[in-house]
Chains A and B, each alone.
Chain A
């Protein structure tokens, strides 16, 4: 079945440093979604990418969808303590979303 791999599993950064998490699918995706889960909280939808090569920005967050629609990345510029949490990618299509295992981001002030 479809698998979505996400790396790294953990990332510790100093406040102000950049952060990137990568997502790779074993199959071509119809869309890729990104979620954020704060410690002790529940996943919250951030964004969906649908088109090959698509790039979307939300303030300091930049999301990319690969040309082959099999990989994606989330880049955070100049991390802040409010960015702490686990970031999940999820591959969508005709079947239920398949979530990656997530990247847990810690930000050291």
Chain B
């Protein structure tokens, strides 16, 4: 099993460009999450999907949209990238909400110039 797979691993964007970060898990997990990690800020939740068909905002949702395409896939879209969105993005999944631990993907390192 691959676990949680994120693509791409690295990306450089110009201000105003759009892109979608892809995430897929093969563990049949119900819940999926998107985090961003900045130096000294820990992991901040952007959006999450408690189950297929639902999405909810996390701590820092502004400038992002998500789609829970099916049980396996959860994508994060930046419609108009800004330099403040330069970060490392992690996707994670878990069996059930906050009661089970999360499995993280390898991350996407995004730079917005």
Q: In whole Å, how far is B35's beta carbon from the nearest beta carbon of chain A?
A: 8
Identify which of A41, A42, A92, A94 gathers the most chain B CB atoms within 10 Å of its CB: A42
22 contacts between A and B (CB under 8 A): A31-B98, A41-B106, A42-B90, A42-B105, A43-B43, A43-B90, A43-B104, A45-B101, A45-B103, A88-B43, A91-B98, A92-B99, A94-B98, A96-B33, A96-B48, A96-B50, A96-B97, A99-B35, A99-B45, A100-B42, A101-B42, A102-B43
Smallest CB separation, A94 vs chain B (Å): 6
Q: How far is the CA of A31 from the CA of B94 in the complex (A)?
A: 15
Residues of B within 8 A of A44 (CB): 104
Q: Which residues of A contact B48 (CB under 8 A)?
A: 96
The interface size bin for chain A is 20 to 34
Q: Which residues of B contact A (CB under 8 A)?
A: 31, 33, 35, 40-45, 48, 50, 58, 90, 92, 97-99, 101-107
From B31, B42, B58, B106, give the contact of A42 (CB < 8 A).
Answer: B106
A80 at the interface (CB under 8 A from B): no
